[in-house]
């Protein structure tokens, strides 16, 4: 299968070489890898250029944007800068982060999953972070959720979901819309990806309300937003974030922020969320 990969990168000179080295060591090499050097002030571009000399499938796009590191629109805008220079000759399009080390069988195993299941729209491994000299699971989300740094889409699925949303919440709504269009989502626990810079460590204060805003834009409604926000704050070990999430939700509602999904898609998403939450509740009651 032909894998095309776009990697947005902002000041990643210390780690992006390790990411590109791991991609160059894949048993199944990607056909194209585009790094979008997004307003970096370090040597990110120079590191990428050094890899381009021996890997003709790697290319570089220099982009100028704000210096503020916000989740959501900034990274997806950079992704589209890379997507623009790619042709249509791919089977799988990936949006990867610039601070990851992939096992050498990573793309090969993704290809196997896609080939075995024609209804599989998205698939990934899991992120691991280093703690006290040991690599442990970065347990910020459910195990059936594909992390934003590890997105791999079958072409038809990518098109069905309308590609990626330029907003916080893009890496959740993509899966919800994939399910809406009848696609399966899969995570492979055997694929351990080393995450060199834990999620959110460089996000600015301005990002704290964006999670709640995203839940509004996905048409969660207040009750699901409250439950989802509570779970996320608990996973992050910062229960005070719950206040920010709810504040973000009401801020978005007050200004009538543009929704990311249609009314019908919103109904499907709420039904799916309730089904998942009630299913877990019933499971806990059994035990």
Where do the domains of the chain lie? 3-195, 205-286
DSSP character string of 173-218: HHHHHHHHTT-EEEEEEEEEEEESS-TTTT--GGGGGHHHHHHHHT
Average pLDDT along the chain: 91
How far apart CA 42 and CA 80 sit, in angstroms, is 22
Q: Hey, which residues does 4 pair with through a beta bridge?
A: 32, 93
Residue 105 has pLDDT above 90, yes or no: yes
- The tokens describing 282, both together, are 């019933």
According to DSSP, the β-strands at 150-154 and 134-137 are: unpaired
pTM tops 0.75, yes or no:
yes
- The CATH number corresponding to 3-195 among 3.30.420.10, 3.90.550.10, 2.60.40.10, 3.40.190.10 equals 3.90.550.10
- pLDDT for the residue 70: 59
According to DSSP, the β-strands at 58-63 and 32-38 are: parallel
60, 49 contact by CB (below 8 A): yes
- pLDDT for the residue 231: 86
- pLDDT for the residue 286: 45
Q: Which whole number is the average pLDDT over 1-29?
A: 97
Residues in CB range of 73: below 8 A, 6 or more apart:
166, 167, 168
- Lowest mean pLDDT: which of 27-41, 63-77, 121-135, 247-261? 63-77
């Amino acid at each position: 299968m032909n894998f095309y990969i776009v990697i947005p990168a902002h000041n990643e000179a210390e780690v992006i070489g390790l990411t590109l080295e791991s991609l160059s060591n894949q048993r199944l090499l990607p056909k194209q890898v585009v790094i979008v050097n997004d307003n970096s002030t370090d040597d990110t571009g120079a590191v990428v250029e050094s890899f381009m000399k021996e890997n003709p499938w790697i290319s570089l796009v220099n982009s100028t944007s704000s210096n503020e590191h916000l989740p959501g629109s900034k990274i997806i805008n950079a992704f589209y800068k890379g997507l623009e220079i790619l042709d249509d000759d791919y089977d799988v399009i990936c949006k990867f982060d610039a601070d990851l080390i992939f096992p050498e069988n990573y793309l090969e195993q993704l290809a196997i999953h896609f080939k075995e299941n024609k209804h599989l729209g998205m698939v990934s491994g899991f992120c691991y972070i280093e703690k006290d000299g040991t690599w442990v699971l970065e347990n910020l989300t459910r195990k059936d959720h594909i992390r934003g740094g590890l997105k791999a889409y079958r072409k038809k699925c990518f098109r069905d979901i309308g590609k990626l949303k330029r907003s916080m919440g893009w890496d959740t709504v993509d899966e919800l819309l994939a399910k809406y269009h009848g696609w399966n989502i899969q995570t492979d626990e055997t694929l351990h990806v080393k995450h060199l810079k834990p999620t959110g460590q460089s996000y600015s204060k301005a990002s704290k309300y964006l999670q709640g805003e995203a839940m509004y834009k996905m048409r969660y409604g207040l009750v699901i937003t409250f439950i989802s926000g509570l779970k996320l704050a608990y996973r992050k070990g910062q229960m005070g974030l719950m206040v920010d999430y709810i504040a973000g939700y009401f801020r978005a509602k007050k200004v009538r922020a543009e929704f990311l999904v249609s009314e019908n898609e919103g109904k499907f998403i709420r039904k799916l969320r309730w089904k998942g939450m009630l299913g877990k509740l019933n499971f806990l009651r059994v035990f």
